Structure 1
């Protein structure tokens, strides 16, 4: 069996370690999510989404079944990013009550991080819509099974 080198994918390992650390720290604080927090999480999800897209494309020709599973994960990760984007716009701006915090790509929203999350979300959405059908985006994961061979 080909075992990966311990230094393989160091940035991915560091990112995972950072998420674990943040999860522990956030659990201890118990603070609700704020807009900046969701913007950062959305950036992470869309980066993972792009990586899954590339992996699915490269894996599908030599290993079609594995490629299909990665493509399914790609779609589900997009759904997660879309839900985080929607939650972002439901949170109040600074200490103001809920106002018009919708996604307005045609004008500058109230400034960063709104501009970054909306632009990032729109860019990722273009990629998703080129490669995924609307019915795939709305299909729940139910019925998708995997057997572990180990």
Structure 2
């Protein structure tokens, strides 16, 4: 087993390097061929951003105890990635799905002609929104007192 302290930069994190290379390739192709943004394109890009969001969440959590300043910077990047994913989600719903439909900005499967399978972007957005709110919104996480009528 290799020691992380002695791993060469070329060998570290091969999946992240491959993902970055894929994005660079796609950006070059999009610039060359003028690929228009469509809903499928934004869905894949949103998936990438939410994966980065999850990774930064975990990295910030592990960095904070030992390096609080670095943890704060990672947490800030985590929040900005969520904001970027939210903007892409909104753009997804702004683009027309088909000539005969206008979906608006709601995440409502009953209003979209293509139905729930396309709404993985909405499921990812709701899950990442829940995670960011849980981390950034102060709340009492203890048991709630029973209501009296």
**TM-score, normalised with respect to structure 1:** 0.79
Q: Which residue in the other structure is 2:115 paired with? A: 111
5+ residue gaps, structure 1, are 135-150
Q: Does 1:8 align with 2:8?
A: no
Cα RMSD (Å): 2.1
- 4+ residue runs over 6 A deviation: none
Give the deviation of 1:133 after TM superposition.
3.6
Aligned CA distance change for structure 1 residues 95 and 28 (closer, same or farther; 3 Å): farther
Q: Which residue in the other structure is 1:94 paired with? A: 98
Q: Which residue in the other structure is 1:51 paired with? A: 55
Q: Which residue in the other structure is 2:31 paired with? A: 27
Give the deviation of 1:90 after TM superposition.
0.2
Give the deviation of 1:97 after TM superposition.
5.5
1:62-101 correspondence runs (5 A): 62-96=66-100, 98-100=102-104
Aligned CA distance change for structure 1 residues 31 and 49 (closer, same or farther; 3 Å): same
5+ residue gaps, structure 2, are 139-149
1:81-124 alpha-carbon deviations (Å, 9 max, x no partner)? 0000000000001334534462126x584236531101111111
Tell me the SS of whatever aligns to 1:127: helix
- The answer as to whether partners of 2:93 and 2:103 remain within 8 angstroms in 1 is no
- The answer as to whether partners of 1:56 and 1:71 remain within 8 angstroms in 2 is yes
1:32-82 alpha-carbon deviations (Å, 9 max, x no partner)? 200000000000000000000000000000000000000000000000000
- The answer as to whether partners of 1:39 and 1:113 remain within 8 angstroms in 2 is no
C-alpha distance in structure 1 between counterparts of 2:133 and 2:63, whole Å: 20
C-alpha distance in structure 2 between counterparts of 1:19 and 1:12, whole Å: 11
